[in-house]
């Protein structure tokens, strides 16, 4: 049975608020890059907490990377690609589920119209934001591609200037064997941060919900059960 955990916008907001002091202390980002679509909301919330008096808001750029593949699951349990839902059997409407794919697809990249030029990012401190570090494949791709583009821009400047420093923030890091990897220097320098380390569970974020009232009801129900379980443990000690 798949374990699902439902999170509310309020919980996401508090996770970002809790993480902001360390991000300011250790990362001091000059630009936020949100990986779409899960990184958009936490990136925007973070920006409010990272705003310093007398300083402008940290700009946010978005990149779109897709790793998950949609599948249709019919009533009898058979699955097919989202591109061919007609192969499901039976008259009942199929359920759409997602599973990790194997290839990262770039759907959107940095907006150079607003940045002016990639060279403007050379030597900057950049924070990459996503909602979850699952297999780490998407994060690896994002870091590698950004580093490649930034090094090309630095070479156009004659190889001058300080290196660009990339950091990562995710709401949740799933504690599982990763398929992707991050630069060892990033990990050694503590430039990777997860608000929470969690088991390999199915996390349901509020921006994915089509019925937010039902989503919040399930989230509140889970929270109430957790509180009751905590009371039972306390009473038994």
Q: Which residues are catalytic?
A: 134
Return the closest-CA partner of residue 168 out of 21, 35, 25: 35
Place of tokens 């039976």: 90
Query: Residues 6 or more apart from 134 whose CB is under 8 A from it?
Result: 100, 174, 176
Task: Output phi, psi for 209, to 5 deg.
Answer: -75, 140
d(CA 135, CA 128): 16
User: Do 110 and 148 meet the contact criterion of CB atoms below 8 Å apart?
Assistant: no
Report the DSSP beta bridge partners of residue 136: none
- 3-state SS assignment for residue 4: strand
Query: What does the alpha-carbon distance between residue 233 and residue 175 come to, in Å, rounded to a whole number?
Result: 25
Which residues are bridge partners to 66 per DSSP?
105
């Amino acid at each position: 049975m798949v374990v699902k955990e439902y999170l509310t916008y309020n919980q996401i907001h508090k996770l970002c608020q809790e993480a902001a002091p360390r991000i300011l202390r250790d990362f001091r980002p000059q630009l936020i890059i949100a990986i779409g679509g899960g990184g958009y909301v936490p990136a925007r919330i973070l920006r409010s907490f990272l705003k310093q008096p007398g300083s402008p808001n940290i700009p946010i750029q978005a990149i779109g990377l897709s790793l998950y593949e949609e599948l249709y699951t019919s009533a009898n349990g058979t699955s097919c690609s989202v591109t061919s839902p007609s192969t499901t059997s039976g008259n009942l409407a199929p359920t759409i589920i997602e599973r990790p794919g194997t290839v990262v697809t770039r759907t959107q990249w940095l907006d150079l119209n607003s940045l002016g030029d990639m060279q403007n990012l050379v030597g900057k401190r950049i924070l990459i934001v996503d909602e979850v570090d699952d297999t780490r494949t998407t994060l690896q791709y994002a870091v590698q591609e950004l580093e490649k583009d930034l090094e090309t821009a630095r070479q156009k400047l004659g190889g001058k200037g300080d290196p660009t420093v990339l950091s990562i923030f995710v709401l949740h890091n799933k504690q599982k064997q990763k398929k992707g990897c991050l630069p060892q220097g990033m990990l050694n320098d503590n430039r990777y941060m997860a608000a929470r380390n969690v088991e390999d569970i199915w996390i349901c974020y509020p921006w994915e919900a089509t019925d937010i009232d039902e989503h919040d009801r399930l989230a509140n129900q889970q929270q109430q059960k957790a509180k009751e379980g905590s009371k039972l443990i306390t009473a038994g000690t």
